[in-house]
Amino acid sequence: MTAAPPIERPAPSALTPESHAQAVATPSVIAQSERLKLTEIFLSVQGESSTVGWPTVFVRLTGCPLRCSYCDTAYAFHGGQWHEIAEIVETVKAYGVRHVCVTGGEPLAQKRCIVLLKALCDAGLEVSLETAGALDISEVDPRVMRVVDLKTPDSNEQQRNRLANIALLTPRDQVKFVLCSRSDYEWAKAMLLEHKLTARCEVLFSPSYAQVSPRELAEWILADRLGVRFQLQLHKQLWGEEHGR
């Protein structure tokens, strides 16, 4: 783990006075009143999406309006600490890697997430956003890679899918299905066809941890010759359910 001044959960603030001073002194269009509530910032290996395997700084924002059946970050629903966006950017940069992922919770539930994403892009970083797909993605900076979930029936949040987001997807983005059952898989296949998803962007199929066997899902995809990417959560293969990894 690279030494850096991380914002750790649940400490009030792990930003040092030095890093805070640097953030304030950095020329920026970000107003000092621009704040976000954070659960944690940490360095890990990206476990999902097309950037899997890259050392990545994760910025986990607090709060989520959804309650998916398989959620593994319920600790981010509440709590958190407020931090200036300029401070967050400086903390991310201090880790010394080029990839950063803004996640949650549901990061877009905080309106100033849009400001953070732009600031991270302006800092020259490769930025991705993990979003549950229930909120509008149209204001996200076009330099950001948007990884958008489509919630399946067995997630218990299918009705929250904002299908208008599909028309906004570009080849830079990705759609992710987390599959809890064979019926979820069949539903996802139907969505692929109905919305021509593979013609819009890369599509990811992932087994819900401990609910669908990875081997089983891989065999379903191969049998149907689906043009999707099978993925496992690499970080869980390495560290299990450990937070901040």
Residue 107 has pLDDT above 50, yes or no: yes
Q: Tell me whether residue 234 is in a domain.
A: yes
Q: Tell me whether residue 5 is in a domain.
A: no
Q: Tell me whether residue 219 is in a domain.
A: yes
Q: Tell me whether residue 12 is in a domain.
A: no
State the Cα torsion 182-188-191-193 to the nearest 10°: -80
The structure's pTM equals 0.84
Domain count, the chain: 1
Tell me the per-residue pLDDT of 71-105, one tens digit each, with 9 for 90 and over: 888 899 999 999 999 999 999 999 999 999 999 99
Query: Average pLDDT of 47-73?
Result: 92
Q: What is the CATH number of the domain that holds 168?
A: 3.20.20.70
- Band of pLDDT at residue 42, cut at 50, 70 and 90: very high
Q: Tell me whether residue 244 is in a domain.
A: no
HEC secondary structure over the chain: CCCCCCCCCCCCCCCCHHHHHHHHHCCCCCCCCCEEEEEEEEEEECCCCCCCCCEEEEEEECCCCCCCCCCCCHHHCCCCEEEEHHHHHHHHHHCCCCEEEEECCCHHHCCCHHHHHHHHHHCCCEEEEEECCCCCCCCCCCCCEEEEECCCHHHCCHHHCCHHHHHHCCCCCEEEEEECCHHHHHHHHHHHHHHCHHHCCEEEEEECCCCCCHHHHHHHHHHHCCCCEECCCHHHHHHCCCCCC
pLDDT above 90 as % of the chain:
77
Q: Tell me whether residue 89 is in a domain.
A: yes
According to the model, what pLDDT value does residue 150 have? 98
Q: Tell me whether residue 183 is in a domain.
A: yes
* Domain enclosing residue 169, as ranges: 17-239
Residue of higher predicted confidence among 31 and 12: 31
Q: Tell me whether residue 6 is in a domain.
A: no
